[in-house]
Amino acid sequence: MLMFATGPASADEYLREGEFHGQPTLVLSNDVLELSILPFGGALPMLALQNDEEQNSPLWDSFRAREERGRPARPGGSVGHFVCVDGFGPVSEEERAAGLTGHGEAHTLPWVTRSSGKEGKVATLTQAVQLPRVHELLTRTISLVDGENVVYVHSTLESQLAFDRPVCWAEHATIGSPFLQAGVTVADISPNRALTRPHENENPLYRLPSNEEFTWPMAPTLEGGQIDLRAAPAPPNSMDHTAHLLDPNRQYAFVTALHPDKRLLLGYIFPT
């Protein structure tokens, strides 16, 4: 993850305890960034610049979203960036009967801190979570380097079964207000082939046709035209869903979100 700004502030503690809407967190920081981690579920609910007085986090805050809509808080709701292992989306009746839940087990269990420390300019935190129903061990190391506005993440998933089987592993990255603003925030992805989501029902909010391929960023519309998907829709709530096949011939791929008025950019860079 990347965030860009100027004027770094000092930070003496690299790891401390904190809280996010009443939930305990671990806060990993350097002189530029501050990242919160939920020990239960492993989500990253908040990322902020040290020199930002308003502590604007680009990540999704379900508590804030419900408050903005005049709804009561819902404990246990998804926040920020969380991990979907082993599974994504709703479960089948058979999976539910076996005790599996939506988006896998990793976000529903406590993560154990394996190690933490700071060597030179590099602060690290390593956590792990045992997934009892699918017999897997997920381990994640997060590192911050002094003077950098980069969060380095290295994760491994170990199967503890005696045979191979497919796994489903998704990094569920979400952004929210005030960073996400209709008609203002712009998202981009490295060159890719894309597909609109197949419609299971009719919805007047849909802008895109069902199950049609396109090349990012220009997507087909229901009216037969094209629309640039990089800009956050205004009005919002279009229910647009698209899937993207990133170029495997590139060494790295990226996803970014920019709020031009705030001059803040959140970006993910990962090997293909």
Domain co-membership, 53 together with 133 = yes
Residue pLDDT, tens place only, 132-164:
999 999 999 999 999 999 999 999 999 999 999
* CA distance readout (Å), 253 to 78, 245, 246, 261: 26, 11, 7, 26
Domain co-membership, 120 together with 219 = no
Residue 64: the pLDDT is 81
* pLDDT tops 90 at residue 44: yes
Cα gap 207→221, rounded to integer Å? 6
The encoded tokens of residue 126 equal 């390593």
Of the residues 172, 201, 224, the one at which a domain ends: 172
The CATH number of the domain where 158 resides is what?
2.70.98.10
Look up the pTM and report it: 0.89
How many domains in the chain?
2
Domain co-membership, 36 together with 11 = yes
Domain co-membership, 68 together with 144 = yes
Residue 5: the pLDDT is 42
Of the residues 172, 205, 235, the one at which a domain ends: 172
Residue 42: the pLDDT is 97
Give the strand pairing for 23-29 and 33-37: antiparallel
Domain co-membership, 198 together with 238 = yes
Q: Sign (positive/negative) of CA torsion 56, 61, 47, 256? A: negative
Q: Which residues span the domain enclosing 148?
A: 2-172
